[in-house]
């Protein structure tokens, strides 16, 4: 599953991270514009309204995921170099998967 990003990159002209959609007003504006082929370009008022809606299904007590040594070893064995490159392009922290 970690390597599916390689296929996604081949067929998608743009990859927008979910975490950007819920925290970055520009990302959601770009997504709407992209999905509508530029026909819909949300104005700032619409974007601000979206971000003012109460969150649904909030994960209480969510904390940073910390991989143990064994999990990092497995991910290093499974993750293809090309996938690492794509994750790096998307600004994910991949430092602990690189020797």
Tracing tokens 């969150």 back to the chain, one arrives at 55
In the chain, what are the domain boundaries?
15-53, 67-99
The pLDDT of residue 59? 60
- Alpha-carbon separation of residue 29 from 9, 39, 43, 95, 98 (angstroms): 21, 12, 8, 30, 34
Q: Is the pLDDT of residue 15 over 70?
A: yes
Global pTM exceeds 0.85 = no
- In this predicted model, what pLDDT tens digit does every residue of 33-61 receive, in sequence order? 989 999 999 999 999 998 888 766 666 55
DSSP state of 96: G
């Amino acid at each position: 599953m970690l390597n599916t990003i390689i296929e996604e990159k081949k067929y998608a002209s743009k990859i927008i991270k979910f975490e950007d959609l819920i925290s970055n007003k520009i990302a959601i504006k770009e997504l709407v514009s992209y999905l509508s082929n530029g026909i819909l370009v949300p104005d700032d008022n619409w974007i601000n309204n979206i971000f003012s809606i109460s969150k649904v299904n909030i994960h209480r007590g969510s904390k940073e995921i910390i991989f143990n040594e064994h999990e990092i070893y497995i991910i290093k064995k499974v993750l293809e170099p090309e996938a690492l490159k794509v994750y790096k392009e998307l600004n994910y922290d991949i430092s602990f998967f690189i020797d």
